[in-house]
Amino acid sequence: MSDAALPEPGSTVPTSLPTPRPDDPTLVAPATDEPTPVEPPSADRRPHERTHHGHTFVDHYEWLRAKDDPEVVAHLEAENAWTRAQVAHLAPLRRAVFTEIKDRTLETDLSVPTRQGGYWYYSRTLEGSQYPLHARVPVTDPADWTPPALEPGEPPAGEQVVLDENAEAAGHEFFSLGSFSVSGDGRLLVHAVDTTGDERYTLRVRDLEAGTNLPDEVPGTFPGAVVTPDGRYVFYPTVDDAWRPYRIWRHEIGTPTTDDVVVLEEPDERFWVGVGLSRSQRFLQIELGSKNTSESWLLEADDPTGDFRPVWTRREGVEYTVEHARLGGRDVLLALHDDDARNFELVALDVPAPGAGPADPADARVVVPHDPQVRLESVDAFAGHVVLGLRRGATPRVAVVALDDAAPDGPWVPRELEFDEPLYSAAIGANPEPDAPLLRVTGTSFVTPPTVFDVDLATGERVVRRRQPVLGGYDPADYVQRREWATAEDGTRIPISLVWRRDAVTLDAAGTGADPAPLLLYGYGAYEISMDPYFSVPRLSLLDRGVVFAVAHVRGGGEMGRAWYEEGRTDRKMNTFTDFVACARHLVEAGWTAPDRMVADGGSAGGLLMGAVTNLAPEMFAGVLAGVPFVDALTSILDPSLPLTVVEWEEWGNPLADPEVYAYMRSYSPYENVPDDASHYPRILAVTSLHDTRVLYVEPAKWVARLRAAGAPALLKIEMSAGHGGVSGRYARWEEIAFEHAWTLDVLGLAATEED
């Protein structure tokens, strides 16, 4: 239900897995020994009444919620069998797309090393391996900040494998790494793994000198554990019955986990908690946050058994985060906050002394004032510079403040790093060392592969450390990206990003579509999450077949600042859906595409968007692809016993307590608004996972059952060993993408050209 970001390798087991064969049965369907169904599954109608605020809704498919019921499992397996049968003709196309992704990817590759303590850390991938391995080499010259030049596939002298994810994943259908924290002396690694997809992680401590795990092991943790710089203690979060991280524990390494101590417990069910270390490693930090309120607690890292204390007392509706810095020779906290500053401002305040109580916000000094046109999103402090992540003009940017040239108490004038593309995403990269003279920055666009830069903070000189290789002769000049603007029902201008292959789309003299092209329109629109320009190797398989890829930056996201988010949540949520329809209509009216040549795509909260626009404007789309879709929104938000429901009330409203919220959500919840006759609906593919704890599998299962009963051409694909993010492992993920791309191309009329 929530898309909150999670707080963005030795063994005798072989470190590689077989590369999937072109005739791998996971890439073709149905399997040769599986009977081909001749009729789609028809779920029984079993009336279940739900009454709130004088309204009764009869839900005929709520019985599908019984996850362990053999009858439910049989129905889900029947849905998979039907889907396999319906897409069996696309097997050659799926193989082709999978092969294209694989052939464009440098499978044996490595990341740019990042310096931490006495080592350079990096990750490597090997051809045939599903997962990366994490390794390090010693720093040979403390004065040299240039990362070592390593060659893919050639382990450097002195390399130590810290963690091999392939070895950890051996014997499991699913694998996810949830925590990765190395002690300051480089002696211990704290890591956590999930092997089912339900996001319950087992925490382990590895002695990196011996290459073995210590007896310390804690099941059922949440991602984001951290080890103290001295390697003596681990702080980790756990969840309550509603899958909300609500406790932070302290574990002393080498002692029984039954002796672990709760250092903070958050009783308010709206709040999540997380723990980490300041960049300076001076402070342990606990962050608590709901959708619109947050609080930070500090403890000196050299006193890990002491008491955490709040920086500012929690104030309803005020969000803030803090970063430790040295300004004018004294310790300060830099706080980003939105108190009377909708797009956030940056202030400096003195570090609250132990036992002194929270600081007074009135004593803070404004160093970067609020700007209604600039959304401040992050702050990072270095020895002589402060770096801001910000958003202006619907694109993310990075700006630097040189403290030598800035008054300690402000105001500061951040200097933005410039890039030569109008649609470009820039972000702060891995920069663990506060004294580093270089700033690691990453950048990408719809046509430029992800690029890692090191920026000299003193001179501004920029060095490209790595640009993601794209094999097969990729040339960015072959592709074009553009920003267009649609007009919403209320007159608001909605940005649309487009990218296409230059020689595959015909433009008229005005520079818009001369002939309607096949087009995939993606949208999300929730949680203030922005859909920024990004490069995708798999997307090339669509672009090279003539598909235009477009992103509708609808309200509810954060592309245009905090107001953009607020205009697409709670009692203004309908703006998200009508914005998307307005973008689709603009693309048709401008000649880019036609309704019978357009597929809509979105996942999770974007899946809610897909269900809503299907009900609002089914005539606008030839197909709808909905990933882990939140389509039974009202049922879920009415049930506080379900994972994440209470924390979501600030995003959607509380229909349990408020009849107006109930009526409003009932007006758009996709499942409840499927008409009795949906035979005119576009083709629909819903993809979900059995172990998803964020959007339960039952939502798309019920939705597809109701759609099909109403005559809609709907398919359900459910992964039986995966979670909210789908399958794990890069080859498995490529197979999943190939499946979805093949379905999309088929809907767009572009599949018939592929030959077996």
Q: Which residues contact 21 (CB under 8 A, 6 or more apart)?
A: none
Q: Is 294 a catalytic residue?
A: no
* Region for residue 457 given its phi and psi (left: phi exceeds 0; alpha: psi -120 to 50; beta: otherwise): alpha
Report how far residue 390's alpha carbon sits from residue 384's, in angstroms, rounded to the nearest whole number: 20
Look up residue 512 and give its two tokens.
Answer: 């818009």
> What sign for the dihedral angle of Cα 635, 638, 643, 646?
positive
- Rounded-to-integer distance, Cα 100 and Cα 104, Å: 6
Catalytic: 724? Answer: yes
DSSP β-ladder status, 479-487 and 462-467: unpaired
Q: How far apart (Å, rounded) are the C-alpha atoms in residues 154 and 172?
A: 28
- DSSP, res 547: P
Contact in structure between 429 and 450 (CB atoms under 8 Å): no
| Full DSSP string of 422-434 | SS-EEEE-----T
Q: Which of 629, 639, 642, 605 is nearest to 718 (CA)?
A: 629
Q: Which is it for strands 365-368 and 375-381: parallel, antiparallel or unpaired?
A: unpaired
Active-site option among 724, 728, 741, 746: 724
Other CB atoms within 10 Å distance of the CB of residue 262 = 10
Q: Given 181, 530, 604, 689, which residue is catalytic?
A: 604
Q: Which of 129, 102, 106 is nearest to 469 (CA)?
A: 106
Catalytic residue from among 692, 728, 741, 746? 692
Q: How many helices (H) does the chain have, and how many strands (E)?
A: 12, 39
Torsion angle of alpha carbons 316, 321, 322, 323, nearest 10°?
180
679 is catalytic: no
Active site residues: 604, 692, 724
